[in-house]
A and B are shown apart, each in its own frame.
Chain A
Amino acid sequence: MTDIKQALAAAFDDEPPLTIDRAAILRTGRRKAAFRRGYTAITVLATATVVCVPAVLGSGGGGGDGNAQVGGAAPARSTTPTTASAPPVTSAPATGSSSPNPATGSSSPNSATGGPSTTRMSIIVPAPPEPPTSGRAIELTALLASSGAIPADAQSQRYADYPTGPWEFGVVEGGYETAVDVTTAAGRGRVMVGLGGGGAPKCRPESGNPRSTCEERLFEGHPIVVTVSMSNDTQPVTFVAVHARKADGTLVEATAMNGNIQKTGITGVNLPLTVEQLAKIATLPGLTF
């Protein structure tokens, strides 16, 4: 070891224990991978539409008509966040909230930092309170099914790459998780629900996607964190995550995106579940380890 390296190593004298949560990284990674695949699929679809539809219609100056017809399958383009149709959680924002309302797409400076409003969820969380078991996964599946939190009009399909069926929890990397492709009157896309170790969720300044917002709110008395991310595209894919911490330390993450990566499907106009519906799942009593 060089002298320089030895000098640098002296900086580690107060090194704390590693608290990186592998399961949380995996959950976030899966979510981002799904988001990326959905984004890619939508981009391909949009490109194919732009190229093919006018050709198929074959009418000079018919671009407007072509787009109108495309609108039946893929919505009219808009730079407005698609979560605009999802009503905000009705409760008042939690104290200290400094982020924009994702439902309105508004943006305001982060008063705490004086910088951009872009924030993200902290994913550093302690270990889950109990080791997950397949038996508990079955119980959680039954609990969610009977809770009324799943919209009555939801048409659910198994997510092709996922090991469990629609709305069925499985044991995944030290936690529980389910993923499903859903169509509702509100929209169409992917929904994922995960249970992991539970630190108190909060928004933190982050240098990531500028089209990402985070807001701390109250939902029926429960503190939740709502994060909204959008792809930088004329037809953006929107990803909404609601985090809630339970009394036993469980951190529940309910997420939805308006993309459907199955080969047979296309993205919905809006998210299949509203922020409020996601919050209802995230704060569902009994959805714990």
Chain B
Amino acid sequence: MDRDSEFGEYVDARALVMRRTAYLLCGDWHRAEDLVQTALTKLYVAWPRLRRDGALDAYARKVLVRTAIDESRLAFRRRETVVDTVPDTPAPAPASAMPGAGADLDVRRALAALPPGQRAVVVLRYWEDLSVTETARLLGRTEGTVKSQAAKGLAALRELLGHGVMEEQR
């Protein structure tokens, strides 16, 4: 099987999963697809070496996470937008103050409230099921920092979501 065929199969198998992770990291489906496409393009370039080393998923995840963090730190990626008119309705209240809001909206708002690094730790630890060591290696941080950020991230989510489901069971 040639490189393109192999890569195509990989894309078909992994794109959806990668997009979900990207979405948790950035909170926007369109940007999530951009991130996945960026990651997959880089994966293609490094494909021969990665196939040899058997590190496809790890590399894809690393590129995805680092690209997401880099983007979120850039000023022009901030979500502030200029509008022509001032809206009549006030800005939405925090998720915890909106009992009628859907669970999906709650989670998205809560994740959006986390700093990028903390958010990445939460996603990697509790969505990707990476260990503290793996998370630290991927993010280039110490294990102590990862543990600390995971704890702070979970605490923030609990507070923002306003219910008791966020209990770590691992």
Within 8 Å by CB of B24, from A11, A32, A116, A207, lies A11
User: B33–A26 contact, CB under 8 A?
Assistant: no
Q: Report, as a range, how many residues of chain A touch the other chain.
A: 35 or more
A45 to B18, CA, bound (A): 38
B4-12, B53-61, B83-91: which lies at the interface: B4-12
Q: In chain A, residues 244-260, which have Cβ atoms closer than 8 Å to a Cβ of chain B?
A: none
Q: In chain B, what residue has the closest Cβ to A14?
A: B104
A2 at the interface (CB under 8 A from B): yes
Distance, CA A26 to CA B44, complexed state (A):
7
Q: Which residues of B have CB within 8 Å of A12?
A: 20, 23, 104
Given A32-B41, A123-B37, A207-B67, A4 contacting B11 (CB threshold 8 A): no
Pairwise interchain contact B157-A205, C-beta atoms closer than 8 A: no
Q: A268–B164 Cα gap in the complex (Å)?
A: 65
**Residues in A neighbouring B167, C-beta threshold 8 A:** 3-4
Across the interface, do A25 and B166 meet the contact criterion of CB distance under 8 Å? no
Taking CB atoms, residues of chain B closer than 8 Å to A113 are 76
- Which one, B4, B103, B111, B161, contacts A173 given CB within 8 A? B4
Inside 8 A of A19's CB, which chain B residues have their CB? 33
Candidates B37, B45, B106, B126; contact of A124 at CB < 8 Å: B37
Q: What is the bound-complex CA distance between A32 and B104, given in angstroms?
A: 37
With A12-B23, A114-B76 known to touch, is A25 a contact of B70 (CB < 8 Å)?
Answer: no
Residue B136 lies at the interface, judged by CB distance under 8 Å to chain A:
no
A22 interface contact, C-beta 8 A: yes
State the Cβ distance, A273 to closest chain B Cβ, in Å.
24
Interface: B65 (CB within 8 A): no
Q: Is A15 in contact with B29, judged by CB distance below 8 angstroms?
A: yes
A11 in contact with B8 (CB, 8 Å): no
A113 to B168, CA, bound (A): 40
The reply to whether B154 and A207 form a contact with Cβ atoms under 8 Å apart is no
B93 at the interface (CB under 8 A from A): no
Whether, in the assembled complex, A131 has its beta carbon less than 8 Å from a beta carbon of chain B, the answer is no
A20 touches B23 (CB 8 A): no
A29–B127 touching, CB < 8 Å: no
The residues of A that contact B126 with a CB separation of less than 8 Å are 2, 4-5, 8
B151 to chain A, nearest CB (A): 12
Chain A 191-210 residues near chain B, CB threshold 8 A: 205, 207-208
Determine whether B15 belongs to the interface, using a CB cutoff of 8 Å to chain A: yes
Q: Interface size (B, Cβ < 8 Å)?
A: 52
Among A5, A16, A22, the residue within 8 A (CB) of B127 is: A5
Contact B33 A124 (CB under 8 A): yes
8 Å CB contact of B157 from A2, A7, A13, A29: A7
Closest CB of chain A to B128's CB: distance in Å?
A: 10
A29 touching B11 by the CB < 8 A rule?
Answer: no
* Residues of chain B lying within 8 A (CB to CB) of residue A14: 104
Assembled-state Cα–Cα distance A113/B12 (Å): 34
The answer to whether B108 has its CB under 8 Å from any CB of chain A is: yes
Q: Is the CB of A8 within 8 A of B123?
A: yes
Say yes or no for A133: interface residue by CB 8 A criterion: no
Interface residues of A in 7-53 (CB under 8 A from B): 7-8, 10-16, 18-22, 24-26, 28-30, 32-33, 36
With A5-B127, A8-B126 known as contacts, the answer to whether A205 contacts B76 (CB < 8 A) is yes
B37 touches A20 (CB 8 A): yes
Does any Cβ of A come within 8 Å of B34's Cβ?
Answer: yes
A115 at the interface (CB under 8 A from B): yes
- Count chain B CB atoms within 10 A of each CB in A3, A20, A113, A122 and give the residue with the most: A20
Sample of 16 further A-B pairs with CB below 8 A, known A8-B126, A33-B45, A124-B37: A3-B166, A7-B107, A7-B165, A11-B107, A11-B111, A13-B103, A15-B29, A16-B29, A25-B11, A25-B44, A29-B43, A32-B41, A32-B42, A33-B44, A114-B75, A122-B34
Chosen A-B contacts, 16 in total, with CB atoms closer than 8 Å, are A4-B126, A10-B104, A11-B111, A14-B104, A20-B37, A24-B37, A25-B11, A25-B37, A26-B7, A26-B44, A28-B44, A29-B41, A29-B47, A110-B76, A173-B4, A205-B76
